Amino acid sequence: MQIGQIIREYRKKKELTQEEMANRLGVTAPAVNKWENGNSMPDITLLAPIARLLGISLDTLLSFHEELTKEEITAIICKTEAVLTEHGFDFEAAVTYAKEQIAQYPNCEELILGIALTLEGWRIMKMIDEAAVEEYDSVFNGWYMRALSSDREEIRTRAAEALYGFYFRKEQYTKAEEYLAYFSEQNPERKMRQANLYYATNRKAEAYRTYEELLFSQYQMTNILFHHIMMLAMQDNDKKKVHALAEKQSELARTFEMGEYYEISGQLEIAVMEKDADAALEIMEKMISGIERIDDFSRSFLYEHMAFRKPREVFQAEMKNNLLRSFRDEETYGFLINDKRWQELVK
C-alpha cells in the first residue's frame, strides 16, 4: 500500500476531511489530495506530524510493517513475471521492478521469498548473459538471507532450501551443509539433503546408512497410513477397500523386506471382520511363531549399513505374552470362543 493510501485510510478512520487535515498540518487541501492520489509525497518534515494526527506510527505510515494478503503477494509476483516476459526476456527490468516492490514492502518476508524463488527459477531455466549471472545470484541470495531471519519456520525452511540448492549446484558442499541447520531435526527433507551431500562428497558408508534409514522410516510411516485408512474403510463397511488395503500392506512389507510377521499381520483384521475362524487362527499361529523372526529385516541387503540391536529373549517373550493377551479379548475374538484351536493357542 502506498503512503497516500495509508493517509486516506487512516484519515477516514479519524473522520477527518481533506480540508480539516490540511488545516491541522498547515498545508492546503489540494496538497492532501495529491498525497492520497499518489501525485506527490509529503515533505519529510511533515511525516511525524501526519503520523501523530492519524494516530499511527511512522512505520505504519511508511508501510515498514505492512503485511500483504496472499492475493496481493501473488499479484505482485505475477506482475514481476509479466515485466520479465512481455518484452522478450528482460531480466534486468524484472529485477528492477522486484527491487522496487521489496523496497516498498521491506518486511513482507513472504513477498521477498516468493519473488526470489520466481526469478531464480526463470534464471535457471533461461540462458542469460553469463556475465550477469553472478550479479543476479548475489541479489537472490541476499533476499534469501533476509528470509532466513523470519520468525516463521516455513519461510526460514524454504529460504534455506533455496540456498542449499544454490551451493549444492555450485558443488560448494561445505557451504550447502551450513543451511541444513535451518531444517527441523524431525524434517525428513533435512536427512535426505544430508544423504545427498554424503553421496556427492563420496562418503559412501554415510550415504548408504542415511538412505537406508530413510527407506526404513518410510516403510513405517506408509504402513501406519495404510492401517489408519483401512480402519476408516472398516467403519464404512467397505469390504472391497479393506481387502485392497490389507493386500497393499502385505505388498509393502514384502517390497521393504520386513519379514513374514509384517506381511501377514494386516490380514488378521480382515479375518476378524469376516468372522473367518480358519483364516484368523492360521494368521494368529503364524504371528506367534513369527515373533522369533521379528527382526528378519535386519538381515536384508536393503538395510545392511544400519546397526540393529538383536531382540533379547525377554523382549520376544514379552511381545508373545502381549500378543496372546490381545488374542484372548473376547470382544474381538468372541467368535472363536468355542474353537478348541483358539482355546489351545491362548491358554
Where do the H-state alpha helices sit in 68-129? 70-85, 91-104, 109-125
- What residues have CB less than 8 Å from 137, skipping those under 6 apart? 120, 123, 166
Distance CA 126, CA 289 (A): 61
In whole numbers, what is the pLDDT of the chain averaged over residues? Answer: 90
Distance CA 83, CA 100 (A): 13
- Reported pTM: 0.73
- What residues have CB less than 8 Å from 55, skipping those under 6 apart? 10, 14
Read off the pLDDT of residues 123-169 as tens digits, 9 standing for 90 and up. Answer: 888 766 666 788 889 999 999 999 998 889 999 999 999 999 999 99
Distance CA 278, CA 325 (A): 20
- What residues have CB less than 8 Å from 120, skipping those under 6 apart? 137, 140, 162, 166
Domain ranges of the chain: 3-61, 206-346
Options 1.10.357.10, 3.30.470.20, 1.10.260.40, 3.20.20.120; CATH for 3-61 is: 1.10.260.40
Read off the pLDDT of residues 293-344 as tens digits, 9 standing for 90 and up. Answer: 899 999 999 999 999 988 888 888 899 999 999 999 988 998 998 999 999 9
